[in-house]
Amino acid sequence: MSDDTNDFTEFMKQRETAARAYVRGEPGPLEEIVVRALPATFFGPQGGALQGASTVAATYKRDAAAFDNGETRFEVLQMAASGGVAYWTGFQHAAARIGGQDMHMKLRVTEVFRREGDAWKLVHRHADPFSDAKSS
């Protein structure tokens, strides 16, 4: 395995910890790994597309406040890292109180990261609800 791959595999533990904090309404750990310089994009589960590092970071912080007492885990189907760029794709399973209602979610997720110094930074997240409707 390459150094990037080993390092990214280890980083994914931090990424999942940040996701668990997020669904408890704590944006801090995610804020630590979100990119601060352009470009950045977020295609959220409610649709739409956001661009710009400050816009994306502010949205993550605002949206975390809607969550309470949640739990989440990643089901990684693929991940790779090379040349200072990394990604993972798979599912995020979550249960949380959102706006006073208990919610259970399974999201299809793709996240892209780039290395900034010694750290991996989230530059793109695409998450949408999983539907197991079969294609014809």
- Average pLDDT for consecutive 10-residue bins of the chain (136 residues)? 85 98 96 93 94 96 93 98 97 93 96 95 97 65
CA distance 99 to 112: 29
Which domains are assigned to the chain? 3-129 (3.10.450.50)
Q: Give the global pTM.
A: 0.92
Residue that has been written with the tokens 């209602």 in this structure: 101
CB atoms within 10 A of CB 20: 16
Please name the amino acid found at residue 8: F
Closest CA to 7 of 128, 121, 119: 119
Sequence-ordered list of residues with C-beta below 8 angstroms from that of 1, at least 6 positions apart, any chain: 9
DSSP state of 52: S
Helix/strand/coil for 112 = strand
